[in-house]
Structure 1
Amino acid sequence: MTYKRDKKSDILTSKKAVFLDRDGVLNVDTGYPHRVKDLVLIKGVEEALSFLRDKGYLLIVVTNQSGVARGMFSVEDVENFHAELQRQLVPKSAQIDAFYMCPYHPEATIKCFKEDHFDRKPNPGMIERAISDFGIDRQQSFLIGDKETDVQAAAAAGIRGYLFDGTDLYSFVQHIFEPYVGSGT
């Protein structure tokens, strides 16, 4: 998707987004989950994503996948995992708008992925690319992650970040919106 900026109409065309870490936020983090058969959704995921979509948010996954760099699985495995995640979410009106994945790690065993890449959280690269790709308004957007590096990436990108405890994503999202209940936000 190409988004052409028109400074005069930025206010009218800017979009709001929720950036979501994957492992530990959308699916149970079993330690480098990559096999489709091992995909288990976190409690409340479908309801949370459907709620956010109803509020007009784009849903964008930003995930470090150092298992690729470590030779544990392939980029294709990650893409298959994302396709299955999407397949499970679409019937619940909870589909993801975009997946951004960073396969790099500074201690990689696969040489082409051995780099402290700008996309690797806590760096903001994936968030910055999505903001550019979709014309996202930083002030209306936020990130939900389960690690401090997720929140650091959000801060580096100039958006709010929330640290999820891994229990129930719908309840967590409801708490984020509590001050705004009934305001149409």
Structure 2
Amino acid sequence: MTRLPKLVILDRDGVVNHDSDDYIRSVDEWVPIEGSLEAIARLNHAGVLVAVATNQSGIARGYFTIDELNRMHAKFQQALARVGGHIDGIFFCPHAPDDGCSCRKPAPGLLRSISLRFSVALDRVPFIGDTRADVEAARAARAIPMLVQTGKGERTLSQHPQFSVLPVFADLREAVDHILARGVSR
């Protein structure tokens, strides 16, 4: 019998929605990657909690406000609801890279906050991301790092070939297919 995780954690930009080197700054710029919303809904229907852990330094840089970020997340939740899904929690770091906080990935703070919020140990929790910071945050929190090739994933793999030993998937849909078919293992 497949042992599903109780929780899956996702990075946002580049995993769920299209990313930009100039930041996703508005509701209009938040566009889901094809199949990502349906993949999240499939996790929901399988009884798996889904949380998002995302760095949003655009707030500290003055590119957008927390209110605008909340509007993006409302659009995200509304789009998910249309396909029968939802996010159980969205956790974000609003700090700039040099602020020295403990929540900005690659630090494990966001993932640990999610673990506490849902009372789930991270050792059997996949964290699906597209960057080196995502992989390092997962490792630091003792979660299971998984990479997708969307967003910055291809660039991450070419710059860090050692990550090719991790579970690597074309996109979130393929990662969820794998989790639902095979579960997770250490």
TM beyond 0.5? yes
Contact 2:10–2:51 (8 Å) recurs in 1: yes
Structure 1 alignment gaps of length 5 or more: 1-14, 108-114, 181-185
Please, which of 15, 21, 27 is the counterpart of residue 11 of structure 2?
21
Counterpart among 155, 159, 172 of residue 175 in structure 2: 172
Give the corresponding residue for 1:127. Answer: 111
- The alpha-carbon deviation at position 140 of structure 1 amounts to 3.0
Which residue, 13, 27, 30 being the options, matches 1:36?
Answer: 27
Aligned in 2, Cα 1:169/1:106: closer, same or farther, shift over 3 Å? closer
Shift of 1:142: 1.1
Matched residue, 2:83: 92
Gaps of 5+ in 2: 151-169
CA-to-aligned-CA distance 1:18-44 (integer Å, 9 cap, x gap):
111110011000231021112211121
SS of 1:100's partner is strand
Deviates more, 1:73-82 or 1:48-57: 48-57
Is 1:141 the counterpart of 2:125? The answer is yes
**Percent identity of paired positions between Structure 1 and Structure 2:** 38
* TM-score (structure 1 length as normaliser): 0.80
**Structure 1 residues 106, 46: CA separation in 2 closer, same or farther (over 3 Å shift)?**
closer
Distance in 2, matches of 1:178 and 1:93, equals 20
Report the equivalent of 2:165: none
Distance in 1 between residues matched to 2:92 and 2:18, nearest whole Å: 17
For residue 150 of structure 1, report the CA deviation from its aligned partner.
Answer: 0.5
Tell me how large the CA RMSD over aligned residues is. Answer: 1.6
Aligned length: 159
* 2:59 alignment partner, SS class: helix
CA deviation vs aligned residue, 1:126-171 (integer Å, no higher than 9, x gap): 1101111111132331100010110110111111010111153212
TM-score normalised to structure 2 length = 0.79
> Displacement, 1:176?
4.2
Give the letter for the 1:161 counterpart: P
CA pair 34-133 structure 1, distance change in 2 beyond 3 A: same
Question: Highest CA radius of gyration, 1 or 2?
Answer: 1
